[in-house]
A and B are shown apart, each in its own frame.
Chain A
Amino acid sequence: MLGFAIALIAIALIALPFVLTEIGTSWVRITNLALLYVLLALGLNIVVGFAGLLDLGYIAFYAVGAYTYALLASPQFGLHLPFWVILPIGAAIAAMFGVVLGAPTLKLRGDYLAIVTLGFGEIVRIFLNNLSQPVNITNGPQGVTGIDPFRIDGLNFATTSKLLGLQFSSPTKYYYLLVLVVVWVVVINLRLKNSRIGRAWEAIREDETAARAMGIDTTRLKLLAFAMGATFGGIAGGFFSATQQFISPESFVLVESIMVVSMVVLGGMGNVWGVVLGAVLLSFIPEILRWSVEPVQLALFGRTLIEPEVIRMLLFGLALVLVMLFRPAGLLPSAVRKRELSERE
């Protein structure tokens, strides 16, 4: 039964880009962006969901990964390393940042931790925006252009290729690679959750003092949580750079960090599938709104009363408030949270 379901899902995932291309290639691009957010949400889930550390500056790791790829594969420094070399480097640098940004926060309590991580997120962005003077490292607000796409032995991910009689457009190629990475990360997360490390994180999340009393090295494990979360963010960042072929600090603002936190919390903190669902919903619904709000308003009122962007943000804010009021543990709560909340009743 389970095998059949998995096979069905696999077929659907494989066929999806071709179905979407019929509607419009931009939908495959949107799907790719959604998959990137899924990666980010899964990474943040480790920090927030597993270890209980509220990180409001997570997008900094995305930025680090993206800029690492951009600086090593663009005309900025004239370097053009292949992607399978850069992605691990980016992941490693992001992990390093995770440790560096996590270290000062070890003694801080929940809300203070939130504001400090938020501060770090902003600091990283401001540095990226200003490292064009006196020495030009990141090209500042103008961003890095002409970033190389992925290339494997002559297969260029930025062009359309004809394979096996089918047209593989650039977004379609990235889609398959991303799906593979997402599946890999999901498997890692599921296994982490039920491992010794995962249980240690759970202990720290529930009661840090008791965890320490049980002999858990909270310092090492918290840093590990930051580092692992950052790693996935860094990998996603590398993909982002390659698919867009252009990055600028504008893509890594505070609102994005909050978006990712919302995906994790709305989907169900700590529950890997919940987080995936949250990321998918919050990525697609704004796009669907963008495409449908204007025609609907034109049909109903004859003109656009409120622009799609405003409606999207209003609905997003409202969704946050409503979900917290009625399902504070998220759409697919983790088993632990469900127990917690039912006990309180």
Chain B
Amino acid sequence: MQFPKLGISLLAALTAFAVVGCGEEKKPEPAKTQAEAPAVPTVDIKIGHVAPLTGGIAHLGKDNENGARLAIDQANAAKIMIGGKLAHFEMLAEDDQADPKVGTTVAQKLVDAKVAGVVGHLNSGTTIPASAIYHQAGIPMITGSATNPKLTEQGFDNVFRVVGRDDQQGPAIANYLAATDKPKVVAVIDDATAYGEGLANEVEKTLKAGGVKVLAREKGTDKTADWKAVLTKIKGEKPDAVFYGGMDATGGPLLKQGKELGISAVFAFGDGACTDKMAELAGPAAEGMLCSQAGIPPQAASRTFLDAYKAKFNTDPILYAPFTYDAANLLIEAMRKADSADPAKYLPELHKISYMGATGKIEFDAKGDRKDAEITIFSMKNGKIAPIAVVKAGKTLAYDEFLKSMGGSK
């Protein structure tokens, strides 16, 4: 009785395996037949994009993917010639589930599929191990949202970043807080994730360097809903400001409970909690909160990009879409300049590139970071985050001044 059942299940597993195996090999053929139709010789160029499409931040992952897809579709419509052939760009979108294990598997899958370049990933925790795999294969990778400084400190020449780093964002918000509210005692809390802890460390470093007293670090987790114990302890120390490194899902309850307990400090957050959702979660307690975002606010991105995005996807970009849009375009532009989709040939172009994107002028420094990346400071007004200042290359500009300086170049 047992063997048939066992045999069937094994057979099923093997058949599925074989089917999938065969399925994989069939993929290249349809592309070839497509390419034969037009009279002009075409070349297929694959660009990979990776972000979490499932899990807690899937909405941000989809936003990233949309940005990259818009760039690729526009490039196809523009009929770019590369190496004497008409370039047909194809996007291979993958889901890394915000899990480093899956990130490496997916990275290997893209390398096997011989992509010419990769836009992604989203989280620093998955981007860093994946970058090692891309480096081994010599494939250039540009991320539009991974902010951990370590990514570009690895010495990989194929890794680029179009968004600011945590060690730029942290000091920016910390300095703004110190300059405007002049707190004497600050409490720093983080959510014990790579992102939250990293950002909180930078903020604490900057505040301490400025002579502000920082209380002992308090931590939660990325799922904490009950912050009362930690907040009560902080309340006893009477801080003038509270900084939280973490996402809005946990930052919202933190803010709400803080105000319920009667903490009268200014609350400041990083880009993970710099969304309108904070007003939903914390209610009236969210008014007046400060937060920062790496890069310029979506509203300040070029009008042409915003309109095109809205037209194609029927919704506004959420957070990093302008950056992935620019990242994909940077890859394409470098290929065009080098007249080749071969990574070995267009990588040097990428290092030298100077490009005007939806997020402003982009140039890379020796490590692959964006030169003079901007950080925007927001404040919550009437249930919506509104930009109030932009920090660029160490200088703080009020938002109106910044818009004026950007206005001329579109």
Residues of A within 8 A of B (CB): 23-26, 29-30, 33, 129-130, 132-133, 140-143, 145-146, 158-159, 244-246, 248, 250-251, 281, 284-285, 288, 291-292, 295, 307-310, 327, 331-333
Contact = CB atoms under 8 A, between A and B. Distances in A.
26 contacts: A23-B24, A24-B24, A24-B113, A25-B111, A26-B109, A26-B112, A33-B101, A33-B105, A130-B219, A140-B192, A141-B125, A141-B194, A142-B198, A146-B154, A246-B129, A248-B194, A284-B13, A288-B17, A288-B20, A291-B20, A291-B23, A292-B19, A292-B23, A308-B95, A331-B9, A333-B2
B25 interface: yes
Nearest to B103: A246
B381 interface: no
A208 to B, nearest CB: 30
A140 B125 contact: no
Contacts of B19: 292
Contacts of B150: 142, 145
Contact of B100 (A132, A248, A307, A332): A248
A218 B128 CA distance: 47
B129 A332 contact: no
Interface string B109-134: 10111000000000001001100100
Contacts, number: 105
A321 to B, nearest CB: 16
Nearest to A304: B53
Given A141-B192, A246-B132, A23 B21 contact: yes
Contacts of A292: 16, 19-20, 23
B76 interface: no
Contacts of A281: 9, 13
B197 A132 contact: yes
Interface string B140-178: 000000001010001000000000000000000000000
Contacts of B55: 309
Contacts of A145: 128-129, 150, 154
Given A145-B129, A292-B16, A307-B95, A251 B101 contact: yes
B197 A141 contact: yes
Given A26-B105, A159-B136, A309-B95, 18 more contacts: A23-B24, A24-B112, A29-B105, A30-B105, A140-B197, A142-B194, A142-B197, A143-B100, A143-B125, A145-B150, A246-B128, A248-B125, A285-B16, A288-B16, A288-B17, A307-B95, A309-B97, A327-B5
A132 B104 CA distance: 24
Q: Which of A142, A245, A292, A327 has the most CB of B within 10 A?
A: A142
A33 B97 CA distance: 17
Return the 4 tightest CB-CB contacts between A and B, nearest first.
Answer: A246-B129, A26-B108, A309-B54, A24-B112
Interface in B1-50: 2, 5-6, 9, 13, 16-17, 19-21, 23-25
B193 interface: yes
B193 A141 contact: yes
B54 to A, nearest CB: 4
Contacts of A133: 217
Interface string B205-246: 000000000000101000000000000000000000000000
A140 B195 CA distance: 11
Contact of B17 (A250, A284, A327): A284
Contacts of B307: none
B23 A310 contact: no
A145 B133 CA distance: 13
A332 B109 CA distance: 33
A291 B55 CA distance: 18
B280 interface: no
A23 B113 CA distance: 10
A244 B100 contact: yes
Nearest to B193: A141
Contacts of B192: 129-130, 140-141
A242 to B, nearest CB: 13
Nearest to B196: A141
Contacts of B13: 281, 284-285, 288
Given A24-B112, A140-B197, A309-B95, A245 B129 contact: yes
Contacts of B97: 309
A158 B132 CA distance: 11
Q: Which of A23, A30, A310, A333 has the most CB of B within 10 A?
A: A23
B365 interface: no
A169 B17 CA distance: 22
